[in-house]
Each structure stands twice: as C-alpha cells, then as structure tokens.
A and B are shown apart, each in its own frame.
Chain A
C-alpha cells in the first residue's frame, strides 16, 4: 500500500459539482502529476462538506487547510505553492463573515467547530464510491455485531432507549415504529427508506445519500433484521440523479462484499435492496402515497389506520424511515443508546441536520445538538445575514411549517418548542429571510406550492388551497378587501381539520403563522395598498428624491415606457400612469435618487 504524505479532499456534493468542482479536480490531478507528486499526494472525491456557497472547496490534510471557491487555475496554484513548496495560498482561504479574519483550517471555522456530526459523520470525509473507506470508519461493524450477537428484541430495545425520533418531519419515536412492524404477523415484510426529500430548501438527505450511501444501506439491513424483513426499497426523488447513481454503486459494492444479499455474514439472514426513482410529486413524501408510488400507481395517500406497520407495501407490514433517521442507527448500535440519549434535550435526543439557506452568509448543511437556539444557529454557526441587513424571519418545516421571528431567536430548536411557536421541525430546512422579504408574498409562494402539489384526492385540500391562494393573489395584487384575513383564517382551520393527509393538514400553516407574526403587513397590503418590504410589484411606486437628483437624465433614457420626464440638469419626475414599475431606473441611477415605496 502506498503511503501518501498529503491527502486533498475535493467536495463533490451536488452543490460543488454545480459550481464546477470536477474541472477544478481534473486540473489539480493534472498538475500534481506534472509536478511528479502523484505518488506522494492523493486526491479524494468526497460527498458534501456542507459549505455549499463556498464551492468548489478543497481541504488539504494533514493540516486541514480549507480552500474555497477554487477555480482550475487556482488549483494549479495550490499544487505549485502548497503541495510542492509548502506555502499556503492565502488569498484562497476562508474569511469569517463576522470578524473578517482569515481562517486557515477546517477545524478553526466557526461553521464546523460548533457542529456535532453523527448522521453526517462520514459525509465530506470519505470517498462515497469506495466501500473500503466506509469500512475503515467502522462501516458494517454495527451490522456484523447485530447479526452475530444480538437478538431482534435487543436491537429494538436499543433504538427505543436511544429515544431517536423520526427525522422526516413528524418526530414519531423510531423504536416504536420498529417494534410495531416487528410485532405484525406476516411472513413477508418490507423496509422502505423515504428519500423523497420534497421540502424545498432541505437537502440533508441528498447529501447523506451522495456522501455516505453505505450508512443507509447498513442501517436498512439492521432494520430488516430487527423487524423481520428481507427486502428493502429506497425511494429517491428524480431530482437527485447523483444520489441515485452513488447509491446504486454502493448497493452493488455491498452486494459484492456480501453485506447484503443471501446469507449475510454466514448467519443465514437475507436482505436485499432496490432503488425506486420518483417522478416529481411532493405528496409522495407522505408514507401511504410513497407506498402507492413504489407500487407503480398514482402517488395518492389513503386514510390511516391501517398504518404501514401493519398494512403497507403490497399489503404487507412495512417499516418506513427517512434517510437521516437511518443515518443515526449505526452510531447508536456502536456507541450505545445511553451515549446517544445524552445528546440533545429531554424530549428531543441526539442531533439534527439543518439545511440553512436563503439570506444567510454560510449557506449549507450543519448538524448540531437538539436544543441549540435559533440565534446560535443563524448567527454563530452560519455567520448571520449578509449585506448588513436585519434578520426578519426564518421558515422551518418548509411549506408545511411556519416562521420564527426576532422574538424567537432564543427558542430551543427541538420538536415541541417549535410546535408551540406555531412552526415545526419538519425535515430541517431553515430558510432565513432578511428585511427585504414580504411575508404576504412568502405565504403566497408556499400556498402556490402546496396548491400545485395537492394530489386532488380530497376536496378540502384540492379546492381549499386554491381559494386561499386566490385571496392571497388578490392581496399581493393590491386588490385586497375587508374580510379577506377572516376568510383566510376560516379556510385554514377547515382545511387543517378535514384534509386526508399531512400535505393538506399542514398546507395552511405558513399562512397562519405569518398572519400571526406579521398581521400588520397583511393589513398594510389590504387597507393602505402598500407593501412594506417593497416586493409586491403592483403595490410599488417609484419616486425621485429631489435633493439627490442631479438631472443627468439616465433614468429617462433607460425607461422602457418613457414614463420619466424632465430636462438635463433639472429635476426629473416619474409619471405614475405610464410607469410599469419595472425598476430599471432605480438600478441605473448613479446617485441613488430613485426610491421604491
């Protein structure tokens, strides 16, 4: 075996691939070879490191030097300077957004050193296409231990004692789900992994599948043993082609090594896996709809009970857990339930992966102990809001959740407290909004999403969300009327209490939560015909500030509808009737003399 003096990790998560990391990697490998260093330095492609907005990202070990936004030319420079001469390339290092200080190493970055990685322990560290690297990190040891030395009951008791709760959204105790499926009487049972990560803005499941696919395979095999199933399915959404590719590769490898298939570890236990690719339907994240979709049918939910644990896929008892939940299983088996239950809060144990995006300095994936405050998450871990703007709200739980405001900054991020605040944990998507976000427009956005994704099976969801959207469309178009807010509230309550599945039952949540927190904004739209954040086009007016206008005439020249009149060196003015509110004048004015109000 070759010994390398240095390893360079290249993040090849979907975010970095989109940023062009593959050409950066190719340039790096090429240059290393030209410098004759290819026997000393090894380049490794890893899964998502988590700092998606800094991509392409390289980490050079053993020092752990973290380089960001590395172009192919930069990669050559790193090869020449750092790898050959040992001089760190300062200009490519990370700068802390709060202190503006240069941070050299991975371990010193606030973004990483405040994290506790359990589910993401291998993502961004190992090459997801090399099973040996997974094995070197204790991979498949949990499965071996369980199959050779544990009874089914012991496995279930351990998961129950860890108090792990489902990471897909509802937070149902995982151990109980396993127990119910194990207790169901049937010769044929199934284990299903829900990788239909539909919540826009959440991408932890994608990153785990791309960065550490074997942890999901191993955990599913353990689950199969515990509940008595010999066949598993991973339902992945079609929007994640890279995840499908890496998972398929990993399944093939695991089969070759005998970790899945017949007679695993010579114990006679049989478990195999297949991938099912979705076809673009948000509702398929709901477990009964997902089952219908695996069966090749329209992804329509059905009433529960019976729950999948007793009657699921093809009518057989089925255990369904999401990707992040499965990613926690092997560490719990290896380190014990007590170890896991010590992390987190009283009712929410362990860690949670959050996908933080929107108006935030460090977009990306972070795994933190349950119970961290929103302030710590947004400001300490993720570096706060860019451009000196103010934090306005954070949406958790996506289109099924609600928003947290400035008053909630000290809230403990766990299942119960988020529900109390009118939001929810959901799958862990966290979209941060600054002062420029309009909460009526955001509510309209989420409702447009759920209305579009409603499967149409039950009336409250199909028609109710449409009626609510019509009202919000009117309000954002400046045609809001007296009574609109009350109508929204009544509709919301009815849809919540009468819809068939979780999609409909939670669809009104963003509207309810935003109305509760930002009612004044709704009223401003309806009664004052004003959008305080300056987002809703129909409610905007552009004005020229006389003190600032120098009379250069640029605005009049760029105006597409000739709505700006005036003479050079004199004050220009905007004719309201002609103005189409395109905003070009505001962008072009060199003196900042045009304002939107």
Chain B
C-alpha cells in the first residue's frame, strides 16, 4: 500500500495525530531525536520514510541525519514487521548453550531467514543482543513473552501458541 505524502493521510489514520503530539512536545529539540524515533516506532511498528520526514521537519534536523540515526541503531526498523516479533538472543551465554541451533530450527519451522517476515505477516524473526537473562540461556522473546531454557525440540510447541 502506498501512502500519499501530502499529509492528507493524517486525517485518515489516528496514529499520525499521536505522533504529532509527541513531535509538538519536542519541536526544535534535536537532542530528542532518538527518543522521538522510539516513540514513532512504538506507534507505527516501524519508522517509514514519511515518519522520518515528519520528524526531520519537526525537530529541525536534516532528513539525511534522521535517516543516518535510524539506520545506525539496530532497534529501528525501516520495514513493517510481523504481528509477533521473535527475538533470538545471541548473547554469549545463550550461544554457549545452543542458541544457534534454536535459530536454525526457527528458520526451518517458519521457512524464513533472520530479519524476514512470514508471508502472512504473522512472525518476524530477529536476532537480539544479550537481554541479560543469561541464567535462563538459551532465551527467545516473542513480543513481550520470554521463553528460557528453550530446547530445539520445544520450538514447535512454542510457535503453536501464537
């Protein structure tokens, strides 16, 4: 779906209004860029080109810089992501305890590679940095849910819950 850039979509989609409120709170404050991008991603699920343009204008930062920051940090996504975001922790503790095999199994089960989304838009498979739950390694997260001590055999069972 292509979105028109004239701003008319703001009337159609209430999410733009929420973004506008956040932008108003930080108007002209370049230092708030990362916090604003976080908020924008919470609202839309990703940071689209249109969102970047709005942010650039409101904070008075060149669009190139907004794009530079968005792409520098791994948590910002330029693409829409699935309904359920699976994060496989590849911190050292998880790796030592077999996270790589869990990742392979997820790729096999979902028939997608890392950073891809299933064609039905349900799952996005991502690799995360250490989430600090090293005592439970290996760990995966699905949206807010955390699954620790995940054995390869349990992967199917966990996916079936969604």
Question: Is chain B a partner of chain A in the same complex?
Answer: yes
Establish whether residues A238 and B136, one from each chain, have CB atoms under 8 Å apart when the complex forms: no
Q: Tell me which residues from 84 to 139 in chain A have a Cβ below 8 Å from any Cβ of chain B.
A: none
- Known A-B contacts A55-B135, A201-B134; the reply to A238 vs B38 at CB < 8 A is yes
Contact partner, B129, options A17, A239, A276, Cβ 8 Å:
A239
CB-CB under 8 A from B91, the residues of chain A are: 200-201
Residues facing B in A281-330 (CB within 8 A) are 281-282, 293-300
Decide if B130 touches A298 in the complex (CB within 8 Å).
Answer: no
B73 & A357 in contact (Cβ 8 Å cutoff): no
B92 touches A277 (CB 8 A): no
In the complex, which residue of chain B has the Cβ closest to the Cβ of A199? B130
**Interchain CB contact under 8 A, A357 and B74:** no
CB–CB B133/A18 < 8 A: yes
Q: Given A206-B132, A297-B69, A431 and B31 touching (CB < 8 A)?
A: no
Whether B72 lies near A363 (C-beta < 8 A) is: no
A455 at the B interface (CB under 8 A): yes
A239: B residues at CB distance < 8 A: 128-132
Which residue from B35, B74, B146 sits with its C-beta under 8 Å from A281?
B74
**Complex Cα–Cα for A51 and B136 (A):** 10
CA–CA, A197 to B130, complex, Å? 9
| Cβ < 8 Å to A, chain B residues 1-43 | 30-35, 37-38
Q: How far is the CA of A294 from the CA of B32 in the complex (A)?
A: 8
Name the CB-closest residue of B to A18: B146
Contact for B93 among A200, A240, A281, A299, CB less than 8 A: A200
Interface string of A481-515 (1 = CB under 8 A from B): 00000000000000000000000000000000000
In A186-219, the 8 Å CB interface with B consists of: 197-203, 206
Q: Are A357 and B72 in contact (CB under 8 A)?
A: no
Interface readout for A385-406 with B: 1 if CB under 8 Å, 0 if not?
0000000000100110000000
Determine whether the beta carbon of B69 is less than 8 Å from that of A15. no
Residues of chain A within 8 A (CB-CB) of B93 are: 200-201, 357-358, 363, 431
B45 at the interface (CB under 8 A from A): no
- Give the residues in chain B near A14, CB-CB below 8 Å: 131-133
Q: Is the CB of B134 within 8 A of A18?
A: no
Residue with the greatest number of chain A CB neighbours at <10 A, chosen from B38, B97, B136? B136
Contact in complex: A395, B92 (CB < 8 Å): yes
Q: Indicate if the CB atoms of B136 and A279 lie closer than 8 Å.
A: no
Contact residues in A for B137 (Cβ distance below 8 Å): 357-358, 363
B120-151 interface with A by 8 A CB criterion: 128-137, 139, 146, 148
Which residue of chain B lies nearest to A207 when distances are taken between CB atoms in the complex?
Answer: B132
Partner of A359, one of B61, B75, B96, B135: B96
Q: Let me know if A200 and B30 touch, CB within 8 A.
A: no
Contact with A along B87-122 (1 / 0, CB 8 A): 000111101110000000000000000000000000
| Interface residue count on the B side (C-beta < 8 Å) | 37
- The chain B residue sitting closest to A300, CB to CB, is B72
A400 to chain B, nearest CB (A): 12
Chain A residues, CB < 8 A from B146: 17-18
Number of interface residues of A (CB under 8 A): 52
When chains A and B are docked, how far (Å) is the Cα of A202 from the Cα of B134? Answer: 8
- When distances are taken between beta carbons in the complex, the residues of chain A under 8 Å from B95 are 200, 445
B135 touches A279 (CB 8 A): no
For A14, A398, A442, which residue has the most chain B Cβ atoms within 10 angstroms? A14
Contact of A355 among B37, B73, B134 (CB under 8 A): B134
Is B84 in the interface zone, CB < 8 Å from A?
no
User: Which residues of B have CB within 8 Å of A429?
Assistant: 92
CA distance A239 to B37 in the complex (A): 16
Q: Within 8 Å CB of B74, what residues of A?
A: 279-281
CB of B96 within 8 A of CB of A197, answer no
The reply to whether B135 and A200 contact each other, CB–CB distance below 8 Å, is: no
Judge whether B76 is part of the interface by a CB distance below 8 angstroms.
Answer: yes
Are A293 and B34 within 8 A (Cβ)? yes
Among A52, A281, A364, point to the contact of B72 (Cβ < 8 A): A281
Q: In the bound complex, how far is the Cα of B97 from the Cα of A202, in angstroms? A: 16
| A296 close to B32 (CB less than 8 A) | yes
Q: Are A52 and B134 in contact (CB under 8 A)?
A: yes
Q: What residues of chain A lie closer than 8 Å to B68, measured between beta carbons?
A: 298
Alpha-carbon distance A399/B65, docked complex (angstroms):
29
Residue from A18, A199, A201, A437 in contact with B136 in the complex, judged by beta carbons closer than 8 Å: A18
Closest Cβ of chain B to A355, distance in Å, is 6
A173 to B132, CA, bound (A): 27
Taking a contact as CB atoms under 8 Å apart, the answer to whether A238 and B75 are in contact is yes
Instruction: Check if A19 sits within 8 Å of B136, measured CB to CB.
Output: yes
B129–A197 contact, CB under 8 A? no
Indicate which residue in A279, A282, A297 contacts B75 across the interface (CB closer than 8 Å).
A279
Query: How would residues 322 to 364 of chain A score, 1 for a CB under 8 Å from any chain B CB and 0 otherwise?
Result: 0000000000000000000000000000000001011100011
Q: Let me know if A296 and B30 touch, CB within 8 A.
A: yes
A18 touches B148 (CB 8 A): yes
Contacts of A295 in B (CB 8 A): 30-31
- A200 vs B97: C-alpha distance in the bound complex, in angstroms? 13
Min C-beta distance of B29 to chain A, whole Å:
8
Residues of A within 8 A of B38 (CB): 238, 277, 279
Contact yes or no, B139 A280, CB < 8 A: no
The answer to whether the Cβ of A53 comes within 8 Å of any Cβ in the partner chain is yes
Residues of A within 8 A of B31 (CB): 294-296
CB <8 Å contact, B33 and A18:
no
Which of A206, A279, A437, A446 lies in contact with B34, CB distance below 8 A? A279
Determine the chain B residues whose CB is within 8 A of the CB of A431 once the complex forms.
92-93, 96
**Across-interface contacts of B76 in A (CB, < 8 A):** 279-280
Q: Is A280's CB under 8 angstroms from B129's CB?
A: yes
Residues of B within 8 Å of A200, CB to CB, are 90-93, 95, 129-130
Among the listed B35, B69, B128, which residue makes an inter-chain contact with A277, where contact means beta carbons less than 8 Å apart?
B35
Q: Are A398 and B37 touching (Cβ within 8 A)? A: no
A276 and B35 form a contact (CB under 8 A): yes
Q: Which residues of A contact B65 (CB under 8 A)?
A: 297
Say whether B72 contacts A201, CB under 8 Å.
Answer: no
Q: Is A226 an interface residue (CB 8 A)?
A: no
Q: List 20 A-B contacts (CB under 8 A).
A: A14-B131, A15-B132, A15-B134, A52-B133, A200-B90, A200-B91, A201-B134, A239-B130, A279-B38, A279-B74, A279-B76, A295-B30, A295-B31, A297-B33, A357-B134, A431-B93, A431-B96, A445-B95, A446-B92, A455-B72
10 shortest A-B CB distances, which residue pairs?
A52-B135, A200-B91, A279-B73, A357-B93, A296-B33, A200-B130, A357-B134, A203-B132, A280-B75, A18-B146
Q: Could you tell me which A residues sit within 8 Å of B by CB distance?
A: 14-15, 17-19, 51-53, 55, 197-203, 206, 238-240, 276-282, 293-300, 355, 357-359, 363-364, 395, 398-399, 429, 431, 433, 437, 442, 445-446, 455
Seen from chain B, the residues whose Cβ lies within 8 Å of a Cβ on chain A are 30-35, 37-38, 61, 65, 68-69, 72-76, 90-93, 95-97, 128-137, 139, 146, 148
Given contacts A206-B132, A358-B96, 5 further A-B contacts (CB under 8 A): A14-B132, A198-B129, A201-B130, A358-B92, A363-B93
